[in-house]
Amino acid sequence: MLLFAFAGYHQSAIVRGQMDSFESDTTEGWQIGLASDPNAPVVVDSGGIGGAGDGYLLTQSTGTGGPGSKLVFYNDAQWTGNYIDAGINLISMHLNNLDTTELVLRLRIESDSGGAFDTRDSVVVPPMSGWVVEQFSVSPNAWFGGPDVDKALRSVNRLRVYHGVDRFFPPSAFKGTLGLDNITALGGGVGVTPIAQPGDLEILEVYPNPSREIVRLEVRGVRSSDTSVAVHDLLGRHVRSWPVTGGSVDGLAPGVYWIRVVDGTAVATRQFVVGR
Ligand SMILES: [Ca+2]
């Protein structure tokens, strides 16, 4: 499946549709900065949202003071770059709170030229949650900080994920254990205007939507002969492969799904609904 062909390969700047799935035995650049720290993120090769054999990223903090006391980790590789031009307005993650304290998660971007910003809204993950799917808005109005959010989003040097009850960084020491999987950069989310360049790969139409039998797609910007369409459920499971013109939803449970079109190195995603 083409999706896995990209696992383990990372460009140096963000691209719409990129996904960290932790199937390559590396943390895919997620770190806390100290290789010697006992609580640096690690990859667990089984027990992700897909169950046995599905790898995920495990992060921990002690809450006792000193290195590794706070649940804060970051990436300064494939999650850097220009979020505006890449058309990214959501970051989706599969999360599993493996401890007995509620997690209040936020994102932080740091830019050498635009300053540092934290997400206004947090994602709350209940104690011992099991795997859940959450999305962070990364649109310009999702952030507070300073001085220049547009400049920061165009030149992100570091993306952090952290537990912080208050909107202050760095957060307090905290004892937590969090699993993450399928960290995905999305554009064109519900209620958000997609930012597209003319000629970019884009799913223009999904119809009918909601769909019951056959879904037809209108895709703009296909340039290569190596194009695939995959359908995923909200848990990230691959449930269908279609030609670029669309396909059948026969047998799929009613609910929300993602369509992911891959054309060479370009990726476009869009949500649709399977009706009853
Ligand atoms: Ca995985």
Q: Which string of DSSP letters, residue by residue, matches 222-265?
A: --SS-EEEEEEETT--EEEEE-TTEEE-TTPPSEEEEEEEEETT
* pLDDT for the residue numbered 190: 41
**Cis geometry, peptide bond prior to residue 67 (ω within 30 degrees of 0):** no
User: What are the extents of the domains in the chain?
Assistant: 2-186, 202-274
Ligand 1: centre distance to CA 149 (Å): 32
pLDDT digits (tens, 9 = 90+) for 133-142: 899 999 999 9
Ligand 1: centre distance to CA 56 (Å): 5
Ligand 1: centre distance to CA 213 (Å): 30
Ligand 1: centre distance to CA 199 (Å): 32
Ligand 1: centre distance to CA 48 (Å): 5
Ligand 1: centre distance to CA 179 (Å): 10
**N-to-C CA span, the chain:** 29
Enter the DSSP assignment of 166. S
> Coil, helix or strand for 141?
helix
**Weakly modelled stretches of the chain, pLDDT under 50:** 1-9, 189-198
Q: What are phi and psi of 8, to 5 degrees?
A: 90, -15
**CA 108, CA 103: separation in Å to the nearest integer?**
16
Encoded tokens for 37? 């720290």
Ligand 1: centre distance to CA 90 (Å): 19
Tell me, yes or no, if the two domains 2-186 and 202-274 fold the same way: no
* pLDDT for the residue numbered 35: 66
Ligand 1: centre distance to CA 87 (Å): 24
Ligand 1: centre distance to CA 54 (Å): 5
Q: Which CATH entry fits the domain spanning 202-274: 3.30.565.10, 3.20.20.140, 2.60.40.3080, 3.40.190.10?
A: 2.60.40.3080
* pLDDT for the residue numbered 195: 41
Q: What are phi and psi of 18, to 5 degrees?
A: -65, 150
> Coil, helix or strand for 150?
helix
Ligand 1: centre distance to CA 52 (Å): 10
Ligand 1: centre distance to CA 159 (Å): 20
Ligand 1: centre distance to CA 130 (Å): 14
Ligand 1: centre distance to CA 271 (Å): 21
**Cis geometry, peptide bond prior to residue 194 (ω within 30 degrees of 0):** no
Nearest to 92 by CA among 148, 31, 21: 21
**CA 189, CA 89: separation in Å to the nearest integer?**
7
CATH number at 2-186: 2.60.120.260
Ligand 1: centre distance to CA 85 (Å): 27
Ligand 1: centre distance to CA 24 (Å): 9
* pLDDT for the residue numbered 256: 85
Ligand 1: centre distance to CA 195 (Å): 28
Ligand 1: centre distance to CA 110 (Å): 26
CA distances from 65 to 4, 103, 114, 141 (A): 39, 18, 31, 34
